[in-house]
Chains A and B, each alone.
Chain A
Amino acid sequence: MAEMIMDGILETLYMTIVSTILAYVFGLPLGVLLVVSGKNGIKPMPTINVIISFIVNVFRSIPFLILLVAIIPFTRFIVGTMLGSTAAIVPLTVAAAPFVARLVETSLSEVDSGVVEAAESMGAGTWQIIRKVLLPEAKPSLINNATVATITILGYSAMAGFTGGGGLGDIATRYGLYKFDTGTMWLVVVIIVVIVQIMQEIGIRIAKVTDNRMR
């Protein structure tokens, strides 16, 4: 029992962390592109902006459970199976990347346009503004939003348990829903709550420590 829960915790953390990292690998550039190509961006590209924005909206509109099932062929193609934690990473990443793109967009939009203008007046190019102004200046906000993303993905990962993804969500569903063992179910729920609390706390602290506006 204890071993099963321990495995569940590890599987959940594995799915959450790897999916979050992959979601940022795809979502961060998308978010940057959304801001840069926007109407008031540093390099307005209306067509590209509209297309990316549309795709992001479509993927964000599909309920996760439906997406999970709908992309099973794609998951099989990538991982070779649709079962297990590793397979769950595929739909988690696909679902989270557009969400991350919007979070990144929000964070970068908060950067003072005057500072960007100052950099432009110094002859900074688009790439330099992204790397040296937008991302570093938005860092605390990006970190706060990364915490939000991680916790959201953790919540999704519990649903991935539904299609055999493993993890704490899987245990809670099996014991609570199918075996009516509410004790185990609530124990697992409490563990998830604790994990979320710890993640949130870590996120807030990192954001605070790295924010030089809080000195």
Chain B
Amino acid sequence: MTVLKLEGLTKTFEGKKGNVNALSDINIEIEEGEIFGIIGMSGAGKSTLVRCINLLEKPTSGSVVFDGKELTTLKKKELAAERTKISMIFQQFNLLMQRTALKNVCFPLELQGVPKKEAEKKARELLALVGLSDRESSYPVQLSGGQKQRVAIARALATDPKVLLCDEATSALDPKTTRSILELLKDINKKLGLTIIIITHEMSVVQKICGRVAVIDGGHIAEVGITSEIFSRPKSEAARRLVYPDGQMEDKFEGGDLLRLVFDGPSAQEPIVANMVLEFGEAVNIIFANMQDIDGIPTGQMVIRLPKNEDRARDMIRYLQNKKIKIEEVRE
């Protein structure tokens, strides 16, 4: 079932130096229970788009249909009621600095007039869900970035939303914390069946948790599709730029097929590519690599070109599969 439908959405900012089209003709349908990514470079219009979803920004034209209701024509009170079902978390967490973690989670319930005891009970359950039961009386300043985002997630869940908007929610966090927050979001998505919309500029975030992704560029949707497909066969220029930053795929090498290796977990303790080259006595070209060291484990992706010899190439693929590396062929 479609939970959110954006149709012909445009947003124009009127400026002194003329109008700026931040969004033009955005059409997206988001299904209930999916984790949907919206990815784009800085200034592509991601933040404006997410703010149009809950009408923090009023779209210039087009429609936002949430849960069967057209939001753009609602009165202020009705809109406020719908907003409680579309929660949001932010890059800078945006917690109330003068309230404890528990009181921050109570905040949206307080706004709805939920009795204090009931609100606190629920807030405690949610803090337990995000793994912060022991920090309920801490103030934001006493928490790390990851813990603050966990409080923000608990707060966002307090009103039993249908959709959770994550606006660059991991962009201020280090890779290790990012990973744990993404795990938490995945977990919540499974446990509560919550629809999650992830806005980010990082391909790795989308790759880790989004089933589908929309690539936004210059206020347009350049491409929408299943993440793994866009990842291996980016059709639009914008998607290519995100998958292969700095144009690292430009070079053409002589040789066989391209193969993408995804290092994602404890499988990569040994220098696999180097060992493979030694074992087969044949070189492979590393066309592109985007690796990070997280907890001493290399994480990321690498694109290599296999030897022209097809038997040798097949053997190498088998070798990598045995090492439990995720691989996929890349079409040129």
Contact = CB atoms under 8 A, between A and B. Distances in A.
Interface of A: 112, 114-115, 117-125, 128, 132-133, 136-137, 139, 211-215
A124 B111 contact: yes
The interface residues of chain A, by DSSP majority, are classed as: helix
A126 to B, nearest CB: 9
Contacts of A213: 97-98, 139-141
Contacts of A119: 107, 111
A119 B94 CA distance: 9
Given A112-B94, A114-B94, A212-B99, A122 B141 contact: no
A119 B97 CA distance: 13
A132 B94 CA distance: 14
B107 to A, nearest CB: 7
B251 to A, nearest CB: 42
A121 B100 CA distance: 20
Interface in B64-91: 76, 79-84, 86-88, 90
Contacts of A211: 98
B114 interface: no
Nearest to B81: A123
Contacts of A114: 90, 92, 94
B98 A132 contact: no
Greatest chain B CB density within 10 A among A114, A123, A139, A211 is at A123
Nearest to A111: B97
A52 to B, nearest CB: 23
Q: What 4 A-B pairs come out closest when comparing CB atoms?
A: A123-B80, A118-B94, A123-B83, A114-B94
B56 A117 contact: yes
Contact of A215 (B81, B108, B139): B139
Contact of B94 (A117, A123, A125): A117
Contacts of B141: 212-215
B139 A132 contact: no
Given A114-B90, A215-B141, A123 B84 contact: yes
Interface of B: 54, 56, 76, 79-84, 86-88, 90, 92, 94-100, 107-108, 110-112, 139-142, 159
A122 B98 contact: no
A112 B97 CA distance: 10
A213 B142 CA distance: 8
Nearest to A210: B98
18 contacts: A112-B92, A112-B94, A112-B97, A117-B56, A118-B94, A121-B83, A121-B87, A122-B108, A123-B80, A125-B76, A125-B80, A132-B111, A133-B96, A139-B98, A212-B98, A212-B141, A213-B140, A213-B141
A212 B97 CA distance: 7
Given A123-B81, A215-B142, 20 more contacts: A114-B92, A115-B94, A115-B96, A118-B94, A121-B87, A121-B88, A122-B83, A122-B84, A123-B79, A125-B80, A132-B111, A137-B96, A137-B97, A137-B98, A212-B97, A212-B100, A213-B139, A214-B141, A215-B139, A215-B141
B92 A123 contact: no
B245 to A, nearest CB: 28
A122 B94 contact: no
Contacts of A215: 139, 141-142
A118 B111 contact: no
Contacts of A128: 111
B47 to A, nearest CB: 11
B258 to A, nearest CB: 43
Contacts of B81: 123
A120 B139 CA distance: 22
Contacts of B97: 112, 115, 137, 212-213
A125 B75 CA distance: 13
Contacts of B87: 121-122
B164 to A, nearest CB: 11
A212 B94 contact: no
A4 B86 CA distance: 67
Contacts of B112: 123
Nearest to B108: A122
A122 B107 contact: yes
B105 to A, nearest CB: 12
Nearest to A140: B98
Nearest to A112: B94
Nearest to B89: A118
B219 to A, nearest CB: 21
B80 A212 contact: no
A115 B95 contact: yes
B111 A123 contact: yes
A173 to B, nearest CB: 44
Nearest to A116: B94
Contacts of B83: 120-123
A211 B86 CA distance: 31
